[in-house]
Chain A
Amino acid sequence: MKAFLGFVKKEFIHIFRDFRTLIILIGLPVAQILTFGYIIRNEIQDVKIAILDESKDPVTREITNRLLASGFFQLEEYISSPDAVESIFRKGKIREVVVFEDRFAEKLEREGVSHMQILADASDPNSAKMIVTYTQGIVSTYLSELKRHSKMPMIIEPRVRMMYNPDLKSAFMFVPGTMAMILMLVSAMMTSISIAREKETGTMEAILVSPLRPIQIIAGKVTPYILLSCINAIVILLMGYFVFKLPIQGSILLLFAETILFISLALALGIMISTVSKNQQVAMFISAFALMLPTILLSGFIFPIENMPRILQWLCYIIPPKYYIITIRSIMLKGTGLAEIWPETVMMLSMLVVFISVSAARFKVRLQ
């Protein structure tokens, strides 16, 4: 244990002596959060929706058909009571709920006005805006066709409600994404580089010859980065809270637990990368291309996954940050509990197990 603590101390010295890197590590999240602009999204497709049809008449059926035939929407389920809305949104699969009021067609015919409600999950504000616009477009096209056959004035009034993020702040979207990115950078990239550096300078051999066990070496390597990552996570959350008024609806404890899980995952990835790279350059290159780019491009952080070609979507399933972003976004904006996000959590846990086993195996192979 004493040997281990000595090791950790040495790691901290490395970090603090390399002052420029330290500044980058701490300054980067701040700069990123502050400079990230609005992120543009262009298309939507196959968005999962639910329908609450209290009328069930030819008009509502026709609108439903047109929504589903448009290719933008996919019907996930019919719900029968407004009480169900909240809970299906929390599950995270459904992005929009369309509600038709009672006696929809009848009111439209007799009074010339009927109401529908469009509820969208705005924790991803750009998609929500798009989804609602598309829905309204389909409804108004249908209405103008109806009007052509009738002399009566007719209005369908859609009331839009953005759930979880009524002001459509995109900060709500990029704070979780940036968090995933920074944690990936600090944990995976810095760990892999620091282990690769020891290989490069030959100090790894000196350590391996000593009675320190490989597990102590690795634990000693990652401990400082776990602490650094936690500090970064806290900085990002505080900035989100104070600068962008980002709420944390759910349990902070759960948020931290998931964050630590993700940090461990990233560290395991970093160790895995270091076992395959001979020197710092290779470690940096692999981290940048195998971790950073997918985190930015394929995690759903900037580009919506549902718009991607099928093959890329499959690829997205193996991108750890995707699960982390979904998880923390739900906790922060919807107050989701573990009951709803366990699939993502299990996914991250199993990835962690895989990465650790692979690194352990590689570590042994290297000794032979």
Chain B
Amino acid sequence: MHINKPIIRVNNLVKKFGEFVANDHLTFEVYEGEIFGFLGANGAGKTTAIRILCGLSYPTSGELEIAGFDVYTQREQIKKNIGYMSQRFSLYEDLNIRENIRFYAGIYGLPLATIRKKTEELIDELGLSPIAKTLVKDIPLGWRQKVAFSVAVFHDPRIVFLDEPTGGVDPLARRQFWEYIYRVAARGITVFVTTHYMDEAEYCQRVSIMAEGRIEALDTPENLKNTYRVSTMDEVFLKIARK
């Protein structure tokens, strides 16, 4: 792992919707290969920021560089180098698992033979062979989440953005999902994950905590707990939120 080699650089990112400031001068860096937690309460501005980083929305002002490319001028290159999984998992319910995987692999322009081979490998790896032909609407949420994540990293992006990937799943499935995140990170993919579950923050190498559009803290979970002299991330979060 190349510690301290930034793959995302954000400098004074501002996003306004009319008078409302959703992102208020965010400045941070994410290092290559790390699992970066982007924390905050609902409505703190996490999703707005992640959408800007993915190119789904334009910033009002600020400098942003993703995987070495400029957000304003090099969108196409950025798109090839990132994966994205939204809160809604973004699978087609009327397509089966295999078709979903193949479709998303297809829009990233992978060669057909590669798609076929990798799809089957993935289905085996996830243990999905028996239900590979089941329509997505008929499989449990936990499975969908795994498939959606696998799809987001299928084209081996340099960074994957996960927007509240564990929303609505049970604790066991969340735990398994994080194991899966570690496996993906081990492939050298930088993971940028938003969540409002503070126990998940402990799994991240570094976390930033947002409140009211601003980043209030950014460090390793260990250092944050020491700084605020508490024993869990939950307490760190409450202290920041009450400030």
Binding site for B on A (CB under 8 A): 2-3, 5-7, 9-10, 13-14, 17-18, 201-203, 205-212, 367-368
Q: Chain A residues near B108: list those with CB within 8 A.
A: 3, 210-211
Q: Chain A residues near B56: list those with CB within 8 A.
A: 205, 208-209, 367
Q: Do residues B58 and A210 form an inter-chain contact, with CB atoms below 8 A?
A: no
CA distance A5 to B55 in the complex (A): 24
Q: Do residues A17 and B84 form an inter-chain contact, with CB atoms below 8 A?
A: no
Name which residue of chain A comes closest to B77, CB basis.
Answer: A211
Q: Chain B residues near A202: list those with CB within 8 A.
A: 86-90
Tell whether B93 is near chain A: CB-to-CB under 8 Å.
yes
Q: Do residues B109 and A3 form an inter-chain contact, with CB atoms below 8 A?
A: yes
Name which residue of chain B comes closest to A1, CB basis.
Answer: B109
Q: Chain A residues near B172: list those with CB within 8 A.
A: none
CA distance A14 to B94 in the complex (A): 7
Tell whether B95 is near chain A: CB-to-CB under 8 Å.
yes
Q: Do residues B92 and A207 form an inter-chain contact, with CB atoms below 8 A?
A: no
Q: Do residues A209 and B55 form an inter-chain contact, with CB atoms below 8 A?
A: yes
Name which residue of chain A comes closest to B88, CB basis.
Answer: A202
A366 to chain B: closest CB distance in Å? Answer: 9
Q: Chain A residues near B84: list those with CB within 8 A.
A: 205-206, 209
A10-B86 contact given A209-B55, A210-B108, CB 8 Å threshold: no
B81 to chain A: closest CB distance in Å? Answer: 10
A13-B94 contact given A202-B87, A211-B79, CB 8 Å threshold: yes
Q: Chain A residues near B69: list those with CB within 8 A.
A: none
CA distance A202 to B88 in the complex (A): 6
A211-B90 contact given A6-B103, A7-B106, A7-B107, CB 8 Å threshold: no
Residue from B90, B106, B109 in contact with A205 in the complex, judged by beta carbons closer than 8 Å: B90
Q: Do residues B107 and A211 form an inter-chain contact, with CB atoms below 8 A?
A: yes
Tell whether B54 is near chain A: CB-to-CB under 8 Å.
yes
Tell whether B223 is near chain A: CB-to-CB under 8 Å.
no
Residue from A13, A17, A210 in contact with B79 in the complex, judged by beta carbons closer than 8 Å: A210
Q: Chain A residues near B125: list those with CB within 8 A.
A: none
Q: Chain A residues near B58: list those with CB within 8 A.
A: 367-368
Q: Do residues A209 and B54 form an inter-chain contact, with CB atoms below 8 A?
A: yes
B55 to chain A: closest CB distance in Å? Answer: 7
CA distance A209 to B152 in the complex (A): 10
CA distance A3 to B108 in the complex (A): 7
Q: Chain A residues near B55: list those with CB within 8 A.
A: 208-209
A18-B109 contact given A205-B84, A367-B57, CB 8 Å threshold: no
Residue from A5, A10, A212 in contact with B92 in the complex, judged by beta carbons closer than 8 Å: A10
Q: Chain A residues near B106: list those with CB within 8 A.
A: 2-3, 5-7, 10
Name which residue of chain A comes closest to B100, CB basis.
Answer: A10
Q: Chain B residues near A7: list those with CB within 8 A.
A: 103, 106-107
Residue from A3, A13, A203, A205 in contact with B99 in the complex, judged by beta carbons closer than 8 Å: A13
Q: Chain A residues near B86: list those with CB within 8 A.
A: 202, 205-206
Mark interface residues in B43-74 (1 if CB within 8 Å of A CB, else 0): 00000000000111110000000000000000
A203 to chain B: closest CB distance in Å? Answer: 5
Q: Do residues B104 and A210 form an inter-chain contact, with CB atoms below 8 A?
A: yes
Mark interface residues in B100-114 (1 if CB within 8 Å of A CB, else 0): 001110111100100
Tell whether B204 is near chain A: CB-to-CB under 8 Å.
no
Name which residue of chain B comes closest to A207, CB basis.
Answer: B107
Could you list 19 A-B pairs, sorted by A, with CB under 8 Å?
Answer: A3-B108, A7-B103, A10-B99, A10-B103, A17-B94, A17-B135, A18-B94, A201-B92, A202-B87, A202-B89, A202-B90, A203-B90, A207-B107, A208-B55, A209-B82, A210-B79, A210-B108, A211-B80, A211-B109
B66 to chain A: closest CB distance in Å? Answer: 12
CA distance A13 to B103 in the complex (A): 11
Tell whether B76 is near chain A: CB-to-CB under 8 Å.
yes
Name which residue of chain B comes closest to A17, CB basis.
Answer: B94
CA distance A300 to B54 in the complex (A): 49
Q: Chain B residues near A203: list those with CB within 8 A.
A: 90-92
Name which residue of chain A comes closest to B79, CB basis.
Answer: A211
Q: Chain A residues near B82: list those with CB within 8 A.
A: 209
B189 to chain A: closest CB distance in Å? Answer: 15
Shortest 9 CB-CB contacts between residues of A and residues of B: A6-B106, A202-B88, A206-B90, A209-B84, A211-B79, A17-B94, A210-B107, A202-B90, A10-B103
CA distance A6 to B106 in the complex (A): 6
CA distance A210 to B108 in the complex (A): 6
Not counting A7-B106, A14-B94, A201-B92, a sample of 18 additional A-B residue pairs whose C-beta atoms are within 8 angstroms of each other reads A3-B108, A3-B109, A6-B102, A13-B94, A13-B99, A17-B135, A18-B94, A201-B88, A201-B90, A205-B56, A206-B85, A206-B86, A207-B107, A208-B55, A211-B80, A211-B108, A212-B107, A368-B57
CA distance A293 to B94 in the complex (A): 31
Name which residue of chain B comes closest to A7, CB basis.
Answer: B107
Q: Chain B residues near A10: list those with CB within 8 A.
A: 92, 95, 99, 103, 106
A13-B88 contact given A3-B108, A3-B109, A209-B55, CB 8 Å threshold: no
CA distance A368 to B75 in the complex (A): 13
Q: Chain A residues near B80: list those with CB within 8 A.
A: 211
Q: Chain A residues near B92: list those with CB within 8 A.
A: 10, 14, 201, 203
Q: Do residues A2 and B109 form an inter-chain contact, with CB atoms below 8 A?
A: yes
Name which residue of chain B comes closest to A15, CB basis.
Answer: B94
Q: Chain A residues near B54: list those with CB within 8 A.
A: 209
